């Protein structure tokens, strides 16, 4: 099967800090891949590099057979890459519906419109006319994912899905995500909550200090292995 996304030997820096080191990853159409790892492991920088929000210092990002490494973010959205950034970044003064419609300018043809988003995220239906600033964290996360869907992406990049959300709200967001995944969406997500990541992903990648240190299906990996990779225990014990 040819990969929808192919990341090849990617390197990314923040000044002198080498945040992503020699990372290679393929994501097939319809696959869900979760990236886990401690704070500062480089997960966000990797996702931003794929979306075009951060310029890599080496390697390539190939999407649907096209080298997009140097392509600006807005053009990648048109190609079908949508990022839900850490912190959601909604327009606080706009309503939920207006936030969803903001993506109108970069919409690709496809099944996602306001009604389809509200169907997958029913918690947003009564909030359509509410300003984003007045929403809870979970409602904002749902709106941010909905906004990304409105571009009709082929690949959805989700950063820190459950960060800062109450467990009951995370449950609601993940229920909606499960519906999305069942419909065949291709998703690369960053998740600090290991159980959630193992529960939803076809494949889990563990990142430590900018590198991939463990890759496998949830069935192949034990929780212990992932925890060791997560905190670099094996390395420090050696
Ligand atoms: P977190 O869960 O905390 O977001 P992460 O795994 O997503 O962690 P990144 O945010 O990609 O990691 O950060 C990787 C490294 O790059 C960290 O050491 C971080 O301090 C550094 N870094 C991230 N963004 C910047 C920036 N804009 N300027 C300088 N250094 C940065």
Bridge partner list, 29: none
Q: How far is the CA of 44 from the centre of ligand 1 (A)?
A: 7
65 φ, ψ to 5°? 85, -5
- Which pLDDT band, with edges at 50, 70 and 90, does 1 fall under? low
Q: Which atom of ligand 1 is nearest to the CA of 41?
A: 6
Mean pLDDT calculated for residue range 16-20: 95
Bridge partner list, 35: 190, 205
CB under 6 Å to ligand 1: residues? Answer: 14, 17, 19, 37, 39-45, 86
Average pLDDT, the chain: 90
Q: Which atom of ligand 1 is nearest to the CA of 159?
A: 7
Q: Which atom of ligand 1 is nearest to the CA of 210?
A: 14
Ordered by start, the domain boundaries in the chain are 3-230
Strand boundaries in 39-178, DSSP class E: 58-63, 66-67, 81-84, 155-158
Question: What is the C-alpha to C-alpha distance for residues 173 and 122, in angstroms, rounded to an integer?
Answer: 10
Which residue's CA is the closest to the ligand 1 atom numbered 2?
39
Element containing residue 145 per DSSP (H, E): helix 137-149
Least confident span in 5-9, 159-163, 164-168, 201-205: 164-168
On the CB side of 22, how many CA atoms lie within 13 Å of its CA? Answer: 2
Which of 42, 49, 231 is the best mutation target for the ligand 1 pocket, counting ligand atoms within 8 Å of the beta carbon and taking the most?
42
Which residue's CA is the closest to the ligand 1 atom numbered 31?
14
24-55 pLDDT, tens digit per residue, is 999 999 999 999 998 899 999 999 999 999 99
Answer whether residue 157 shows pLDDT above 90. yes
User: Domain 3-230 adopts which CATH fold?
Assistant: Rossmann fold (3.40.50)
187-230 pLDDT, tens digit per residue, is 999 998 888 888 899 999 999 999 999 999 999 988 888 888 88
């Amino acid at each position: 099967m040819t990969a929808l996304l192919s990341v090849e030997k990617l390197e990314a820096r923040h000044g002198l800090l080498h945040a992503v080191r020699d990372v290679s990853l393929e994501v097939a159409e319809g696959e869900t891949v979760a990236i886990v790892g401690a704070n500062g492991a480089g997960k966000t920088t990797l996702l931003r590099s794929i979306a075009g929000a951060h310029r890599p210092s080496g390697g390539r990002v190939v999407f649907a057979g096209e080298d997009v490494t140097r392509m600006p973010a807005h053009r990648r959205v048109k190609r079908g890459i949508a990022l839900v950034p850490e912190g959601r970044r909604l327009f606080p003064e706009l309503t939920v519906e207006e936030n969803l419609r903001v993506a109108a300018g970069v919409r690709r043809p496809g099944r996602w419109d306001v009604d389809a988003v509200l169907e997958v995220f029913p918690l947003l239906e009564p909030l359509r006319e509410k300003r984003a600033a007045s929403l809870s964290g979970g409602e904002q996360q749902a709106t941010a994912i909905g906004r990304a869907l409105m571009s009709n992406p082929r690949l959805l990049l989700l950063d820190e899905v459950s960060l800062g959300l109450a467990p009951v709200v995370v449950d609601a967001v993940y229920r909606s995500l499960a519906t999305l995944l069942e419909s065949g969406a291709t998703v690369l997500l960053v998740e600090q909550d290991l159980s959630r990541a193992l529960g939803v992903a076809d494949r889990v990648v563990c990142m430590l200090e900018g590198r991939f240190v463990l890759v496998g299906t949830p069935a192949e990996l034990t929780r212990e292995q992932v925890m060791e990779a997560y905190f670099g225990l094996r390395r420090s014990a050696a």
